[in-house]
Structure 1
Amino acid sequence: MCCRHGPTDSAMDEDRLYRDAALARFYDLDNGWTDDRSFCLNMARGCASVLDLGCGTGELAIRIAGDYHTAVTAVDPALAMLNLARSKRGAGRVTWVEADARDLDLGRSFDLIVMTGHAFQSLLSERDRAACLTAFARHLAPEGRFIFDSRNPARCEWREWRPALSRREIADPEFGSVAAWNDVAWDSANYIATYETVYLVTSDGHEFRASSQIAFPSLKELKRLIAAAGLTVDTWFGDWTGAPLAADSAEFIPLGRRA
């Protein structure tokens, strides 16, 4: 896939799904504890320091700090998500930073850098992705490792983000039953999906709605940008079970270090 002209800003810059507290509150209920978090939690065992980029509501960061007494720094550009993270039990063990991964410079290095939940795909342009990977390299200890995920565009997962296919029910402690669904528009020129997320409170019909964008970079581009950032990949996984990467894998997951 060649370099394409497209948006230069991160999707997180104006994304109400993460920046509006009224919508961010649904995140944990809608997603739960996921395989990527379990994988990275296991990787963090024995690490003295961990950097969680795009930490969201902080579930992984808090578990790493609590389970292993590891020094964890958790970074996210969305204050609404960080506020939710800071309110959780065990949050005091984590250093929370409101910042953008593209220009992050904490002045220190880490044994492990993780970026889960497809946060990497919120970087909509090649320039943004390159800046993020450069930040990875800037913060890695000499023997440190990094890992992140990006969906394989060959799987066309966005086709499943239609109302009939994505409809689900959420049990909210305040609102009770909440119906949720997505809809999507696909930009084939820039490989960007613009998807809408809707939460509808069953009891009174109140609706929360936000539009988001994510990019689907190719494996070829990822390999090139990783190398250009001064990083190298030891293993490519195809999903968060640790399966090896294949042409039809759901994910591109590089586990690597400084070159």
Structure 2
Amino acid sequence: MDEDRLYHDPELADFYDLENGWERSPDFACCKTLAEGAESVLDLGCGTGALAVALAGGRTVVGVDPAPAMLAIARGKPGAEGVDFVEGDARTLRLGRRFALVVLTGHAFQVFLTREDRAAVLATIAAHLAPDGRFVFDSRNPACREWEEWGPEASMRLVDHPRFGPVAAWNDVAHDAATGIVTYGTHYEIRATGKRLSAVSRIAFPEKAELETLIAGAGLRVDRWLGDWEGNDWQPGTPELIPLGGLA
């Protein structure tokens, strides 16, 4: 997995919260509900820490991310002192601790491009899950071909950055049918100066059948497959693949 400038470059990472609006998202709300009654939470791929900080207070929360630029933003958030932020790779992380809830949201699972990498991440989840704990992660349903909506015209938008002012933003995208990997560019052009910031990212779209095999191989079980973060069950054509379960 190559280092992605979208998360590792401090200037680009500074756009993450503006673009994602975590506190308004259904995955944010769902994870808060799942955390009720959980005395400890591990947030893998915690990014800028919005979810981890929201879950802190009255429980142990550890947020893990491989990108120092994202963690720097996370540690500067109000309430960040309630979270133990750790720089680490979800494929190899071993904290020697177990948690009541392990979450991997924001489609972070899709940055793992090979079957072997995905198996390693699931092994990490299993290694950190308490005997009666639960896990949840999300991956876009490849059948929906969401990447087709990520072209320059459809993705063109204006972002109001607190330091840069108005910033034009857009994406471009290419899909490799042989591997299922989508390569997309993210571009920001600062209106005041004309400066452009760009990054190229790659994500995978594994099929549900593969996820089922890998999850079982990691010693995990799925109690329920969700098709979206609003709590609807998975069925062909739903936008998400969201397994919710525990140790087998």
Query: Hey, which bits of structure 1, 4+ residues long, moved more than 6 A?
Result: none
Q: Which residue of 2 aligns with 1:55?
A: 46
1:209-242 per-residue CA deviation (whole Å, 9 max, x = no partner) reads 0000000000000000000000000000000101
* Counterpart pick for 1:35 among 26, 43, 68: 26
Q: Which residue of 1 aligns with 2:144?
A: 155
Distance 1:127 1:221 in 2: 11
* Counterpart pick for 1:192 among 159, 181, 186: 181
Distance 1:160 1:191 in 2: 16
Q: Which residue of 1 aligns with 2:36?
A: 45
Q: Which residue of 1 aligns with 2:56?
A: 65
Distance 1:232 1:256 in 2: 6
The Cα shift of 1:200 comes to 1.0
Q: Which residue of 2 aligns with 1:125?
A: 114
Match of 1:102, SS? coil
The Cα shift of 1:201 comes to 1.0
The Cα shift of 1:45 comes to 1.2
Q: Which residue of 1 aligns with 2:123?
A: 134
Greater Cα offset, 37-46 or 130-139: 37-46
Q: Which residue of 1 aligns with 2:84?
A: 95
Distance 2:163 2:33 in 1: 33
The Cα shift of 1:76 comes to 0.3
CA RMSD across the alignment:
0.7
Match of 1:101, SS? coil
Greater Cα offset, 165-174 or 106-115: 165-174
TM-score (norm 2): 0.98
Q: Which residue of 2 aligns with 1:205?
A: 194
**Residue identity in the other structure for 2:147:** W
**Residue identity in the other structure for 2:104:** M
**Residue identity in the other structure for 2:29:** S
Q: Which residue of 2 aligns with 1:251?
A: 240
**Residue identity in the other structure for 1:201:** I
1:108 aligns with 2:97: yes
Structure 2 unaligned regions, length at least 5:
none
Distance 2:77 2:61 in 1: 15
1:182 aligns with 2:171: yes
Distance 2:168 2:235 in 1: 35
Greater Cα offset, 110-119 or 38-47: 38-47
Distance 1:167 1:240 in 2: 25
**Residue identity in the other structure for 2:186:** T
The Cα shift of 1:120 comes to 0.1
